[in-house]
Chain A
Amino acid sequence: MQWEAAQNAYVLLFPEGMIKLNGSAGEIMKRCTGESSVAEITADLERTFGTSGLSADVIAFMEMAYAKQWLSVAP
C-alpha cells in the first residue's frame, strides 16, 4: 500500500492490478501494520477523528479486506 499524491489516495498494488482506497479505508489500512490489535486500531481511529462507535464498521471492513487478501492476520 502506498500514498499516491496524483490521486490523493492510498492505493493497494498487486500483480497487474490496483485498488484505490477511499479515505476511510485508507485510514484503517494504514494502521494495519501487524503491531496493533483491532481494538487498538479502532481506539486510535476514534481518538483521531473525535468520534466513537466505529468498531462495527472497522470490523466489517477488515473482514471484507481479509476475504480479498488485502490483509493477513499477524502471527
Chain B
Amino acid sequence: MTAVSVPPTSPVIQPGPPLWLLLELTYRCPLHCAFCYNPTDFARSGPELGTEDWLRVLTEARALGSVQLGLSGGEPLSRDDLEPIVAEAHRLGFYTNLITSGVGLSETRIRALKDAGLDHIQLSFQDSTRQMNDFLSSTRTFDLKSKVAALIKGHDYPMVLNVVLHRLNIDHVEEILQMAERMGADYVELANTQFYGWAWHNRRQLMPSRAQVERAEEVTRRFRERQHRPMRIFFVVPDYFEKRPKACMNGLGSIFLTVTPDGTALPCHAARMLPGLTFPNVKASSIEHIWYQSSGFTHFRGDAWMKEPCRSCPEKTRDFGGCRCQAYLLTGDAANADPVCDLSPHHHVVVDAALAVDPEKPMVFRSRANSSSLF
C-alpha cells in the first residue's frame, strides 16, 4: 500500500492539470534584493491585472484541476485586493500560500487574511544578522521581519522561512537555522541562489566558493541530526556546483503555471526570456487554451524537443534535461542540455562561471529606477 507522490516521475505523455498556480500579483516591492528572480526589465511591464481578471484566472485554473496556489510578486501585500483574492481562492478549494517579505503584514491584515481562509505564509529573510539582511535587501527590515514572524506564529499559520543563500550569507547557515528554530518555523528553505533575473546580473558578486557550499551542506546535515523540534529543512542545491541538473519545474508545462503582473502566462518564473515561443496573456486567452495549446507550454513538454546527450540518456525521465532557461542563458540554445550536467559539451561554461567571482564589483539592486535605466 503506497501513496503516490506528486510530481510524477514518469514521462508526461498526456499532460495532467496545472497543479501548481503561481500568481505574481505585482512587481511593486518595498525590498530591493540583489538576487531577485524577477526580470531585470520589469519596469517595462504593462499595467497590473485588475481584481476581476485575477478572480477569473482562479476560477479557470481551478476548473482545470489546479490545487496549490502561490500568491507572490513583488510583494503581494502591495495589493489592497489581496484579501478578496484569497477569499475566492479558498472558496474554490485552493490551498493558499502567501509568499511575502513581511512588509505590510499588520495585525489587521493578518487577521483579515485568516478570515479569508489563507492557509500558509512563507516569509523571506535575507540573513540571520540585521546588518546583512538590511544590506542585501537595501532596506531596514530585519526587526520588522522578526516581528512579523512572531505575528505569523501568533495567528497559528504554518510558516516557511525562506532564505536565499549566496557568497555573502552562506557562512551563516548555522545561525540562520537557529534563528528559524527560535522563531518556530515549520519549514526552512535554504535556497541557494538560482541565477536568473537580478541574480544573473549580480552573479559574480553572489557566487559562493565550493568550500563555502560544502561547509553549508555539512552544517545543515549536522543541524538536522541534532535539531530540537520538528522543522523540515530544504536545502535547494546550488546548481553551478553540481554534476546533474535540477528537474526544473518537473519539466516545463508539466505541473506549473505562473501569471505575471500584466497577465502573461509562463511555464516558469523566468521563461519569458525563451525565444520563439508564444506566451499568451490571460486577458486574451483562457487558461485551458494556454495550458493545452500555446507553444509556450507545449513546446518543451515531454522529450521530443531534446537533443543529445539528453535524447538517449536514461536519466532524462528524472531531470527532464534540466532547466531550459539555464540552457539558453549559458549555451545560447534552449534545447541544449542544461550545462550543469557534466555530460553536456558546454559543462565547462558552468565550471568557469562558478569560479568567475568578483566580490568587489558593485551590486545592482532591484529597483524600478535601476530597471528603467539599466535594462
Contacts and interface: CB of A to CB of B under 8 A. Distances in A.
Interface of A: 2, 4-7, 11, 13-22, 24-25, 57, 60-61, 65, 69
A16 B93 contact: no
A13 B67 contact: yes
Contacts of B67: 2, 4, 11, 13, 18
Interface stretch (B1-9, B51-59, B277-285): B1-9
B160 interface: yes
The 7 closest A-B pairs by CB, nearest first: A6-B65, A13-B95, A15-B120, A20-B6, A25-B3, A61-B1, A6-B17
B50 to A, nearest CB: 27
Q: Is chain B's binding surface mostly helix, strand, loop or mixed?
A: loop
A57 B95 contact: no
Interface in B1-55: 1-6, 16-17, 19
B3 A21 contact: yes
A32 B56 CA distance: 35
B64 interface: yes
Nearest to A21: B3
Q: Is chain A's binding surface mostly helix, strand, loop or mixed?
A: mixed
A10 B41 CA distance: 42
Contacts of B160: 15-16
B65 A16 contact: no
Contact of B1 (A15, A19, A25): A25
B181 interface: no
27 contacts: A7-B17, A11-B6, A11-B67, A13-B67, A13-B95, A13-B119, A14-B120, A15-B119, A15-B120, A15-B186, A15-B187, A16-B122, A16-B160, A17-B68, A18-B19, A18-B68, A18-B95, A19-B4, A19-B6, A20-B3, A20-B4, A20-B6, A21-B3, A21-B4, A22-B1, A25-B1, A61-B1
Contact of B3 (A15, A16, A19): A19
Contacts of A6: 17, 64-65
